[in-house]
């Protein structure tokens, strides 16, 4: 079986995908700050050889090899090999990284301003000024409170906006006049009905705060460069219902350059070695990115990951 390649009508690229760091729409105050979505373009036989080579280097008795095994410190050298020029992935894989608190800040700014350009500028400024004004813990607490209000209910315990907006009102006086934090606070206080309505959207609606959706769109855009038709095989995810996959097809095409999402199917990772390879890459990438975000970077691994990434 050969890698998907050019055909008479243009490129048909099949990729296999998995993620690491998913907590649904909980973007702030969870177990992880980074989300990694990995995609690999290789045939099943090549993926099986990759898994065998990883097992030889980092043995495990488990039936299905998972990224948690490679994340152990003693196996760091295997990650160096896997990502490096002598490994099997360079040029055949991609990672879409998302900083979840920053992603939430951007989505919040977009909801409040209704202008993607203004939202980008405001979110970037808030990433610097928010922690400076309120301290890292205070800023995180504010974002986490707002995140709880904006997350889709979907059977969760009922959340009221009172606590979040009480916090906004108590913090507002400390915001420097004319700055981005004051702008955010004023926008929030004026737009409370809109914020509450967003959190009460209908069950089954596209979970726009879930980074998986943005990552899939970004992944397809990466592989569709030059006009490719992209077919996705993805590890099973509960949020990827048939209706949402249909909506994703609209979101991911047609893309600049003529590329588009040309097919999307879910498969259990145990049934496709390519998904298992994507799991290894996603887990390794997220661990590297988390360490960098915490201020404890691994320069060698960060450099090896760089050719794979977009965000």
Same domain, yes or no, for 173 and 110?
yes
Assess whether pLDDT exceeds 80 at residue 43.
Answer: yes
User: Looking at the domain assignment, is residue 162 inside a domain?
Assistant: yes
Same domain, 272 and 185: no
Q: Region 79-91: what's the mean pLDDT?
A: 97
| Residue 288 pLDDT class (50, 70, 90 cuts) | very high
Residue 66 inside a domain? The answer is yes
Q: Pinpoint the alpha helices (H) of the chain.
A: 44-57, 67-70, 76-83, 100-113, 116-150, 162-171, 180-190, 192-199, 211-223, 242-251, 273-293, 299-305
Q: For the chain, what is the mean pLDDT?
A: 92
pLDDT surpassing 90 at residue 55:
yes
Residue 15, SS3 per DSSP: strand
The string of DSSP codes covering 133-186 is HHHHHHHHHHHHHHHHHHS--TTPPP--SHHHHHHHHHHGGGSPTTSHHHHHHH
Residue closest to 70 by CA, chosen among 219, 274, 276, 216 = 276
Pairing of strands 34-40, 309-310: unpaired
User: Once rounded to an integer, what is the mean pLDDT over residues 162-186?
Assistant: 97
- Out of 199, 217, 235, pick the residue that ends a domain: 199
CA atoms within 13 A on the CB side of 157: 1
For residues 231 and 167, state if they share a domain: no
Cα torsion through 123, 129, 134, 137, rounded to 10: 60
Mean pLDDT of 267-291: 97
> What is the C-alpha separation between 209 and 103, in angstroms, rounded?
8
Q: Is residue 1 part of a domain?
A: no
Give the lowest-confidence range in 104-113, 148-157, 270-279. Answer: 148-157
Lowest mean pLDDT among 37-51, 145-159, 201-215, 235-249: 145-159
CATH number of the domain residue 39 falls in? 3.30.420.10
| pLDDT of 180 strictly over 70 | yes
pLDDT classification of 5: cutoffs 50, 70, 90: very low
Banded pLDDT at 311 (limits 50, 70, 90): low
Q: Read off the pLDDT of each residue in 174-185 and give the average, rounded to a whole number.
A: 98
Residue 92 pLDDT: 97
Question: So what's the pLDDT on residue 155?
Answer: 53
Under the banding of pLDDT at 50, 70 and 90, the label for residue 170 is very high
Q: How far apart are CA 33 and CA 28, in angstroms?
A: 7
Mean local confidence (pLDDT), 38-52: 97
Q: How confident is the model at residue 157 (pLDDT cuts 50, 70, 90)?
A: low
Residues 229 and 12 sit within 8 Å (Cβ to Cβ): yes
Residue 281 has pLDDT above 60, yes or no: yes
d(CA 5, CA 296): 40
Stretch 167-196: mean pLDDT: 97
Number of domains in the chain: 2
Q: Is the pLDDT of residue 6 over 60?
A: no
Domain span holding position 146? 101-199
**Residues 118 and 248 occupy one common structural domain:** no
Question: Do 173 and 255 reside in the same domain of the chain?
Answer: no
Mean per-residue pLDDT, 195-201: 89
Which pLDDT does position 1 carry in this prediction?
36
184 shares a domain with 107: yes
Whether residue 112 sits in one domain with residue 47: no
Could you tell me the two tokens for 279?
């799991």
Same domain? 132 vs 68: no
144, 164, 199 - which closes a domain:
199
Whether 45 is in a domain gets the answer yes
């Amino acid at each position: 079986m050969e890698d998907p390649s050019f055909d008479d009508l243009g490129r048909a690229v099949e990729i296999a995908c998995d993620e690491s760091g998913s907590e649904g729409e909980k973007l702030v105050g969870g177990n992880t700050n980074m989300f990694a979505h990995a995609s690999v373009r290789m045939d099943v036989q090549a993926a099986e050889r990759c898994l065998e080579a990883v097992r030889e280097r980092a043995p495990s008795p488990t039936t299905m090899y998972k990224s948690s095994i490679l994340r152990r410190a003693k196996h760091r050298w295997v990650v160096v090999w896997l990502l490096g020029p002598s490994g099997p992935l360079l040029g055949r894989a991609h990672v879409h990284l998302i900083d979840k608190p920053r992603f939430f800040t951007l989505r919040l700014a977009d909801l409040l301003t209704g202008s993607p350009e203004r939202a980008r500028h405001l979110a970037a400024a808030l990433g610097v000024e928010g922690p400076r004004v309120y301290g890292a813990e205070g800023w995180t607490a504010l974002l986490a409170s707002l995140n709880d209000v904006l997350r889709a209910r979907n059977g969760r315990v009922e959340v009221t906006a009172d606590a979040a907006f009480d916090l906004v009102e108590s913090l507002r006086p400390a915001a420097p006049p004319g700055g981005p934090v004051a702008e955010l606070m004023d926008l929030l206080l004026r737009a409370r009905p809109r914020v509450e309505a967003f959190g009460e959207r209908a069950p089954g609606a596209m979970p726009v705060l879930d980074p998986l959706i943005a990552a899939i769109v970004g992944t397809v855009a990466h592989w569709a460069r030059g006009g490719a038709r992209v077919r996705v095989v993805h590890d099973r995810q509960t949020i990827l219902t048939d209706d949402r996959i249909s909506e994703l097809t609209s979101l991911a095409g047609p893309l600049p350059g003529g590329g588009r999402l040309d097919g999307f199917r879910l498969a259990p990772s145990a049934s496709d070695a390519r998904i298992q390879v994507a799991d290894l890459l996603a887990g390794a990438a997220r661990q590297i990115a988390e360490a960098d975000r915490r201020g404890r970077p691994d320069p060698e691994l960060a450099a090896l990951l760089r050719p794979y990434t977009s965000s």
